[in-house]
Structure 1
Amino acid sequence: MVELFDTGRIIDAILLLMVLEGALLYLVYRRSGWGLAPGTLVTTLAAGGFLLLALRAALTDAAWYWVSAWLLAGLAAHLADLWQRLRPQ
């Protein structure tokens, strides 16, 4: 189990589950109209995904600039998500 964390494979598994979750939520939205619109869904999942990639970089002792880059990408996705949700309709 320790090697899952040392190699970052645990994060790969979580990211795969997030992709499957996104696909399922997209299908639910397409069939019923219920749930998040695709654009909002993408920015929401991207923000979390980028944070997971930052964690993976830190777990695998990647250079500091990779951790920073993933965190910055997470911030950008988070701000895009907020902008989509809070803009006047």
Structure 2
Amino acid sequence: MQGLFESGRIVDLALVFVVLEVVALLALRRRRGRGLNPAAIATLLAPGVCLFLALRAALTGAPWPVLAGWLTAALITHVLDLWARWRASDRPQ
């Protein structure tokens, strides 16, 4: 187990589960004809993926600019997700 963390492979495992989540959400949408569209799924999950990649960079001793880049990407994708949700909530229902 220690090796999973030291190598950063634990993050790879977590990202596999994120991919499975995306596949499941898309399959549900296709099967039921409703649900989140692919863009909404992407903006929902992108900040978490960026944070996972920042964690992987930290666990593997990557240079600080790599870690800073992933954290910045997480912030940007989080803001985009909030912006999309805010716009959707302003639409008349």
TM range (shorter): over 0.9
Shift of 1:76: 1.1
Q: Which has the larger radius of gyration?
A: 2
Match of 1:66 in 2: 66
Unaligned runs of 5+ residues in structure 1 are none
CA distance in 2, matches of 1:78, 1:29: 23
Tell whether 2:12 aligns with 1:32.
no
Shift of 1:16: 0.9
* Counterpart code for 1:40: A
Match of 1:76 in 2: 76
Give the TM-score of the pair, scaled to structure 1: 0.93
Match of 1:55 in 2: 55
Unaligned runs of 5+ residues in structure 2 are none
- Cα offsets for 1:49-75 (capped at 9, x unmatched): 000000000011100000000001111
The runs of at least 4 aligned residues of structure 1 exceeding 4 Å deviation read none
CA distance in 2, matches of 1:30, 1:77: 25
How many pairs align?
89
CA distance in 2, matches of 1:31, 1:80: 28
